Amino acid sequence: MERRYAVRWFLPVLAAFAPAACRAPGVSEEDPSAHAHLRTRHVLFVTIDGLRPAELFQGADPSLLDRKKGGVRDAKAARARWDDPDPVVRRRKLLPFFWSAIAERGQVFGHRLSGSPCRVTNGRNFSYPGYAEMTMGWVDLSLDSNAKRPNPNPTVFDLLRRTYGPGETLAVFGSWDVFPFILHEKRSGVPVNAGWSPLAPFFGRLGKKIGPTLEHDLRLLDDLAAALPPALGTGERFDAFSFEGARACLRALRPRVLWLALGEPDDWAHRRRYDLHLEAVHRADRFLRLLWDEVQSDPSLRDSTTLVCTSDHGRGGGAEWTSHGARVRGSEWTWIALLGPDTPPLGLRRKTPSTLSQVAATLAGLCGLDLPRFEPRAAPQLKGAVIPGP
């Protein structure tokens, strides 16, 4: 079954990228004129594990800002920092960059009260199936655990790696050590740095020199990481290390596609620490701002980079806020956001339902590729998220 899935996609992919006298290696048969209108030349993809729509759209939940329900150690301080009678104020406290920049100048999908729900369609509502859905564009029901099992199905990153030449950098920095398996790093050829893997040696795999100063800084980070206890478990590092790796890559290599996968919000929620969950979400927002500042400070990235953000699943409500899964009501809802030169500034989308599976085709579309053309099972691009061609 798994081999059949892989072959069914690779047949058209191989046909598109097969060596031929009339086509250079690494060049697809896509018509360049169909995507000539796109200004996007770089895609910055950021995922925030387990950030449910409730916090994204309403900010901190006042009912969880206590020790009994939320495991909050200092409820008074937490309420002073995150609470307000107005949910709009609360969400801006929690995610200031998201609501002042992305929502103002980009688009946000997933607000159910506006008629724009964003649904996870894999039915599992946990991480591996969620990341597989968003990168494949369709659902393989055999992916039913978080085990370190190589994904038998090609993802949009397989297609991107085969489309771009060796001079184009694709890189993934993830806090969870399962990402190399989700993207099947050995098959796809997309370099993945995840878990507690050292950063400095990884940059050597990207095939470009980064300079002695940056290499020294990365080695210092690696030394610090080696000295820290694995507070989140041996398979998950602190998000700050993933962020610093991604920022260094963005600054030094200007990658064509860069994926930063953050994990702490989900980890602290599972540990019933709502205070630390909120802090992790707030840090994720800060990471978004700092990456976008890097983009804006570099003329080669400014006005040619699109930021895409989402989460792999939602969470339950009430007492189930710490959980998610097939039997946890509410964890089937998520959200997607975009900011970039090819995304009309429509803000909070209304009456526009979406699914997590649409992320893959949207990423491909921003790179000038029509994913459903290679994989008919893939969901289409997000409606209205990318300016259509003439």
The encoded tokens of residue 64 equal 């969880």
Please indicate, yes or no, if residue 32 is contained in any of the structural domains. Answer: no
Which domain does 160 fall in, by range?
A: 2-7+37-374
- pLDDT for 230 equals 85
Residue 20 lies in a domain: no
Mean local confidence (pLDDT), 8-19: 40
Residue 297: phi and psi, rounded to 5, are -85, -10
CA–CA distance, 281 with 304 (Å, rounded to integer) = 27
Query: Mean pLDDT over residues 129-143, rounded?
Result: 98
Residue 7 has pLDDT above 70, yes or no: no
Note whether residue 379 is domain-resident.
no
Residue 383: how many CB atoms within 10 A of its CB? 14
Domain-located, residue 383 = no
Summary mean pLDDT of the chain: 91
Whole-structure pTM value? 0.92
Rounded average pLDDT over 253-281 = 98
- Give the pLDDT of residue 34: 57
Count of CB atoms situated within 10 Å of the CB of 158: 25
The whole-number pLDDT of residue 232 equals 84
Residue 388 lies in a domain: no
**CATH classification of the domain holding 90:** 3.40.720.10
Evaluate whether residue 362 is within a structural domain: yes
What per-residue confidence (pLDDT) applies to 16? 36
The C-alpha atoms of residue 43 and residue 59 are separated, in whole angstroms, by 27
Query: Number of folded domains in the chain?
Result: 1
In a domain, 188, yes or no: yes
Q: How many CA atoms lie within 13 A of 45 on its CB side?
A: 26
Q: What is the pLDDT of residues 335-366, one digit of tens each?
A: 999 999 999 999 999 999 999 999 999 999 99
Give me the residue label for tokens 């909070």. 348
pLDDT at 14 over 50: no
* Cβ contact 315:359 at 8 Å: no
pLDDT per residue as tens digits for the range 72-119: 999 999 999 999 999 999 999 999 999 999 999 999 999 999 999 999
The pLDDT of residue 10 is above 50: no
The pLDDT, as a whole number, for residue 23 is 33
